[in-house]
Amino acid sequence: MNQALAPVSAGQQQRALWLSTFAFTVCFAVWMIFAIIGIQISRQLGLNDTQFGLLIATPVLTGSVIRVFLGIWSDQFGGRKVMTLVMLCGAAATWLLTYAQTYPQFLLAALFVGIAGGNFSVGVTYVSKWFPPEKQGTALGIFGAGNIGSAVTKLLAPLVMVASGWMMVAKLWAVGLAVTAILFYLFSKEDPSLEERRRSGVKPMPFAEQMAPLKNLQVWRFSLYYFFVFGGFVALALWLPHYLVGAYGMDVGTAGVLAACYSIPASLFRVVGGWLSDRIGARRVMYWTLGVSAICTFLLAYPDTRYVVQGVHGELSFHLAIGVTLFTVLVFVLGFFMSLGKAAVYKHIPVYYPQHVGAVGGVVGMIGGLGGFILPIVFGALNDVVGIWSSCFMLLFVLVTGALAWMHFAIRRMERRRFPQIDRETDLPEAIEAAAADGRRRG
């Protein structure tokens, strides 16, 4: 890779990075379109929460599953062509969405709209080819900030929908994506590794060889992290407008603005996560992410509760609930640390698997995206079965604590293999001194 990067100028790197980031932003805005138009469609069709959850999550399914193949194709044929094709297909599907009338038709249309979400693995593969390893964390963090497209949809789509209906939202977003595809193709260049491969006549890596790293359990551990930090982000980005309308009685416009308070930090600060991962290490950033996220989801999971206590002078009543202000602060903090974690996960991949970024990045992205598909459906089912709005955060708390535990024990196991003396040492000074004295006596 270093040989391929030698003739690449800083200007070419920056052009590839910012064109890819802009394209990903527009793709993500389209991918999240059902977070807003789904509310009006749900009312139009009379859907329950489980059906609504399935509708808003269906685009995520497509965008997740195709990430593996798109990442591999990007390695083989170049990210420029693949990214352009993804955007054009997503634009066509979003326009055709306006012809759907029944629930099954909307689900089918949503499947094809989800093609836009596959842009991520293409962009990760394409951008990583332009930068050396010591700068890939920052570069991929900037690219990943394209998640801000979710906030763009939440802020602008309600205005268009109130004025002209959900169909106009779909048409405008489709046109925007098609124009972006054309601009990207005209101004971007093939990545340097593809150009080098063409000059040297080297054939692309075979499919079986590209998929070989998936035998490593480590890849699936990274996938669990991403299931939470990205899948949880997508799920909440889709679910929060509906949550705020139902739990706090807001109108869709206000709910969209407050939901953007989660989406914006969960997107923009991914840049900071990439920079920190380059500076202090991705592992430390992941500890911060999962630890703080566990605290936030625990607090958000607490339901609106009234207590009655039998006191000395009669009954005492208490009311514990998270108000709108505290809720907004907590989801802002949660979004911030999720954004750090998204960058940290992808910092690992080019370092551990430099020749398999497309395949490994595609699988990790697919599992993360599947979180964005599965979780909204489960959120809706929990609402229908349990009947508690905060049950979605209860599920996220269980998920993040499980990921934190697996990460910690995996790291400890690696440390023990690399430094066997750890098991013989202790942090207790008294024990260390006693062991030293015992050694001297035996000597």
Q: Could you report the per-residue pLDDT of 165-186, keeping only the tens digit for each?
A: 899 999 999 999 999 999 999 9
pLDDT band at 434 (very low <50, low <70, confident <90, very high): low
* Confidence at residue 1, expressed as pLDDT on a 0 to 100 scale: 40
54 vs 321, residue with greater confidence:
54
* pLDDT, averaged across the chain: 83
Long-range contacts of 84-87 (CB under 8 A, 24+ apart): 84/181, 84/184, 84/185, 86/27, 86/115, 86/116, 86/118, 86/119, 86/122, 87/23, 87/26, 87/27, 87/116, 87/119, 87/177, 87/178, 87/180, 87/181, 87/184
* Lowest model confidence (mean pLDDT) among 5-9, 15-19, 91-95, 105-109: 5-9
pLDDT at 145: 81
Helix axes 357-385, 232-248, angle to 10 degrees: 20
pLDDT at res. 423 = 57
Find all residues with CB under 8 Å of 261, minimum gap 6, and list them. Answer: 328, 331, 332, 335
Domain ranges (residues) in the chain: 10-439
What's the rounded mean pLDDT across residues 356-360?
Answer: 70
pLDDT of residue 198: 66
pLDDT at residue 27 greater than cutoff 90? yes
Q: Which of 1-15, 123-137, 219-233, 365-379 is predicted with the least confidence, judged by mean pLDDT?
A: 1-15
Q: Percentage helix, strand, coil, to 5, in the chain?
A: 85, 5, 15
> What mean pLDDT do residues 385-406 have?
92
Between 377 and 359, where is the model more confident? 377
Superfamily of domain 10-439: MFS general substrate transporter like domains (1.20.1250.20)
